[in-house]
DNA sequence: GCCAACGTTGGC
DNA sequence: GCCAACGTTGGC
């Protein structure tokens, strides 16, 4: 089993949306992240749900992957915000996984806190200029964050 | 709202 | 295949 961190802007999709029901993690249009979704993220993997571009960026909770990577059908949907007209049904380019909430934390593990923690400060999300919306998390980082909440 | 970082695009 | 221009992300 592997661990991941998924970023989302709470104005678009927040932890409270995930509390209500499982979701397709659609709309990823970056090749590095696509490769994670297609090749590496498997059913049973766990992840941190991270709020970005908001007042207090940080980890809000945990989720479980309930379906491994499969083609992101919103790429073929001309009514979708994520529509990619250059993408054919025969040759899927973009992938997604399905996730469901495990736990919403009682408090936010903030980006400041991550940067200030010697075990966590190597996490991708703490690195300057990091723009990947999904990044790997080590088992040590996973356990360390869970101990904080 | 600014701006650094960096992925993507497209001309050559 | 190089690289400048452009667009997007995301912390501050």
| pLDDT per residue as tens digits for the range A85-97 | 788 787 889 999 9
Distance from C-alpha of A33 to C-alpha of A36, rounded to nearest angstrom: 5
Q: How many helices (H) and strands (E) does chain A have?
A: 4, 6
Distance A98 CA to B2 C1' (A): 36
The strand C neighbours among A residues 32-71, by Cβ under 7 Å, are 52-54, 57
Mean pLDDT of all residues in A18-33: 94
Residues 6+ apart with CB under 8 A from A143: none
In this complex, which protein residues place their C-beta within 7 A of any atom belonging to strand B? A 30-32, 127-131
Mean pLDDT of all residues in A55-81: 92
Q: With CA atoms as reference, report the closest residue to A108 among A17, A25, A15.
A: A15
- Element at A29 (helix H, strand E): none
Tell which wins on pLDDT, A20 or A86.
A20
Nearest CA to the C1' of B5 belongs to which residue? Answer: A129
């Amino acid at each position: 089993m592997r661990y991941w961190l998924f970023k989302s802007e709470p104005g678009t999709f927040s932890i409270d949306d995930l509390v209500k029901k499982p979701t397709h993690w659609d709309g990823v249009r970056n090749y590095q992240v696509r490769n994670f979704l297609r090749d590496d993220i498997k059913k049973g993997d766990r992840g941190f749900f991270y709020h970005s571009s908001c007042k207090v960026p940080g980890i809000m909770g945990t989720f479980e992957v309930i379906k491994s990577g499969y083609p992101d059908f919103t790429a073929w949907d001309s009514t979708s915000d994520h529509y990619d007209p250059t993408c054919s049904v025969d040759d899927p380019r973009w992938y997604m996984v399905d996730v469901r909430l495990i736990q919403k934390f009682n408090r936010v593990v903030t980006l400041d806190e991550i940067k200030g923690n010697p075990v966590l400060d190597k996490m991708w999300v703490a690195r300057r200029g990091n723009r990947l919306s999904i990044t790997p998390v080590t088992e040590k980082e996973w356990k360390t964050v869970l101990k904080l909440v």
